[in-house]
């Protein structure tokens, strides 16, 4: 079972516009045009069984429509596992988190750079409490993002403060704990006890030795395979994980077993 814990697809009504804007920010072409069918085609090509699809409400007013679409996707496509999103500036963000759970969505995505909050800002504490209470995993964009190169909203030091303050929150830090901040991740975050997972999305640029060191220090049972499709390929990330010196048992955990445990799913 191969589960990609970090992919993106968009509501077809906004897919073209969203992907064009993101492509401009990224400065390189994506591997899909943001359509669900194209994600499924890539999964077939790369040998991925199931994918977690992450959406982001970039404005408070977008929460409802984003989550309604995610719920529809989750019901209609058995190979896709949809997460919802809330915006910390929305007055009803806690209620929306509850609605995400009622809709049967599997977790919540927060993007501190796009949503413009420092990950450990006390004003978000109430929302974190609500999410922890619901038992939903929350996945954060972590480390550098091209949208805010001068201010990283979720660096390893702040993520650590947050997890110390909210030990019950099930946290996934994308991009192996912090995009382009892998040495700090190794120094500050890796191996810290608690409900802290890292995914492997968009880690092609991470040196193999450093990736290996982070996984060893943190423990393979808290690493989740992820690609960041359409911004990186699951085949390329899988190749990297096959190349570094992991045991077969560790690979089984990373490629799917850990995701099933975290998502409380059987298959
Ligand atoms: Zn992503």
Give the whole-angstrom CA distance, residue 102 versus residue 183. 39
CA of 58 to the centre of ligand 1 (A): 14
Q: How far is the CA of 127 from the centre of ligand 1 (A)?
A: 22
Whole-number Å distance, alpha carbon 166 to ligand 1 midpoint, is 23
For the residues 81-90, what does the mean pLDDT come to? 98
> Among 233, 229, 240, 160, which Cα is nearest to 206's?
240
Cβ atoms within 10 Å of 249's Cβ, excluding its own: 11
pLDDT tens digits along 97-123: 999 999 999 999 999 999 999 999 999
Residue 267, pLDDT > 80, answer no
Q: What are the structural domain ranges in the chain?
A: 3-263
Cα separation of 175 and 221, whole Å?
16
DSSP conformation letters of 148-204: STT--SS-HHHHHHHHHH-TTS-EEETTTTSBT-HHHIIIIITT--SSEEEE-TT-T
**Which residues lie below 8 Å from residue 122, measured CB to CB, with a gap of 6+?**
none
Distance 159 CA to ligand 1 centre (A): 17
Distance 177 CA to ligand 1 centre (A): 13
User: Rounded to an integer, what distance in angstroms lies between the CA atom of residue 219 and that of residue 61?
Assistant: 39
Q: Angle at CA 201, nearest 5°, toward 122 and 77? A: 95
C-alpha 262 – ligand 1 centre gap (Å):
19
Task: Report the separation in Å between the CA atom of 8 and the middle of ligand 1, taken as the mean of its atom positions.
Answer: 7
- Look over the chain and give the mean of its residue pLDDT values, rounded to a whole number: 97
Distance 111 CA to ligand 1 centre (A): 9
pLDDT tens for 125-164 read: 999 999 999 999 999 999 999 989 999 999 999 999 999 9
226 C-alpha to ligand 1 centroid (Å): 9
pLDDT of amino acid 242: 96
Distance CA 206, CA 212 (A): 10
Q: What is the pLDDT of residue 37?
A: 97
Q: What is the pLDDT of residues 237-248, one digit of tens each?
A: 999 999 999 999
User: If you measure from the C-alpha of residue 125 to the centroid of ligand 1, how many angstroms do you get, rounded to a whole number?
Assistant: 23
Question: What is the CA(263)–ligand 1 centre distance, in A?
Answer: 18
Q: How far is the CA of 6 from the centre of ligand 1 (A)?
A: 6
Q: CB–CB of 159/185 below 8 Å?
A: no
Distance from residue 141's CA to the centre of ligand 1 (Å): 7
At 19-71, the pLDDT tens digits run 999 999 999 999 999 999 999 999 999 999 999 999 999 999 999 999 999 99
Span from the CA of 122 to the centroid of ligand 1 (angstroms): 25
pLDDT at residue 31, rounded to an integer: 96
Q: Would you place residue 208 in the very low, low, confident or very high pLDDT band (cuts 50, 70, 90)?
A: very high
Confidence of residue 250 (pLDDT cuts 50, 70, 90): very high
Output the six-digit token pair for 262.
Answer: 């975290």
Q: List C-alpha distances in Å: 245 to 79, 191, 234, 237, 239.
A: 30, 18, 19, 14, 12
**pLDDT value at residue 266:** 81
For residue 185, the model assigns a pLDDT of 98
For residue 265, the CA-to-ligand 1 centroid distance in Å is 22
Domain 3-263 homologous superfamily, CATH:
Metal-dependent hydrolases (3.20.20.140)
């Amino acid at each position: 079972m191969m589960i990609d814990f970090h992919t993106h697809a968009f509501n077809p009504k906004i897919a073209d516009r969203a992907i064009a804007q993101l492509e401009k920010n990224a400065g390189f072409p994506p591997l899909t045009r943001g359509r669900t069918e194209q994600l499924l085609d890539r999964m077939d090509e790369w040998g991925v069984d199931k994918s977690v699809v992450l959406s982001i409400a970039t404005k408070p007013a977008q929460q409802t429509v984003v989550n309604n679409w995610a719920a529809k996707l989750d019901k209609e496509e058995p190979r896709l596992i949809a997460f919802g999103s809330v915006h910390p500036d929305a007055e009803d963000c806690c209620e929306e988190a509850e609605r995400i759970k009622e809709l049967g969505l599997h977790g919540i995505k927060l993007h501190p750079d796009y949503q413009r909050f420092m990950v450990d800002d006390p004003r978000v504490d109430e929302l974190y409490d609500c999410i922890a209470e619901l038992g939903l995993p929350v996945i954060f964009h972590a480390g550098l993002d091209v949208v805010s190169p001068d201010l990283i909203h979720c660096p390893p030091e702040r993520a650590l403060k947050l997890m110390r303050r909210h030990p019950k929150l099930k946290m996934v830090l994308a991009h192996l704990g912090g995009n382009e901040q892998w040495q700090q991740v190794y120094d500050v975050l890796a191996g810290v006890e608690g409900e802290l997972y890292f995914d492997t999305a968009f880690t092609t640029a991470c040196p193999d030795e450093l990736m290996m060191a982070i996984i060893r220090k943190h423990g393979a049972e808290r690493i989740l395979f992820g690609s960041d499709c359409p911004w990186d390929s699951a085949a390329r990330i899988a190749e990297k994980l096959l190349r570094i010196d992991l045991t077969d048992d560790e690979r089984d955990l990373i490629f799917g077993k850990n995701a099933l445990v975290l998502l409380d799913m059987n298959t």
